[in-house]
Amino acid sequence: MRTVHLRIDEARYRRLNDHLLPKRACMEQAAFLLCSYAEDEAIFTCLDTILIRHEQFAIHSAFHLELDDSARAQVIKAAHDRQCSLVEIHSHPFSGIAQFSGSDFSGLADFVPHVWWRLRHRPYGAFVVTPASIDGLAWIDGPEAPERVLAVKIGAQVLATTGLSFRSLKEGYHEPLRSQ
The band of 172, judged by pLDDT with boundaries at 50, 70 and 90, is confident
Dihedral sign of CA atoms 150, 13, 139, 172 in order: positive
Question: Model-level pTM?
Answer: 0.94
The band of 33, judged by pLDDT with boundaries at 50, 70 and 90, is very high
d(CA 151, CA 174): 22
Exposed, middle or buried, 70 (CB in 10 Å: 0-12/13-18/19+)?
exposed
pLDDT at 173: 64
Superfamily classification of domain 4-170: Cytidine Deaminase, domain 2 (3.40.140.10)
3-state secondary structure at position 169: helix
pLDDT at 117: 96
Residue from 127, 129, 125, 126 nearest 97 by CA: 129
Q: Is residue 180 over pLDDT 50?
A: no
Q: Is residue 74 over pLDDT 50?
A: yes
Give residue limits of the domains in the chain. 4-170
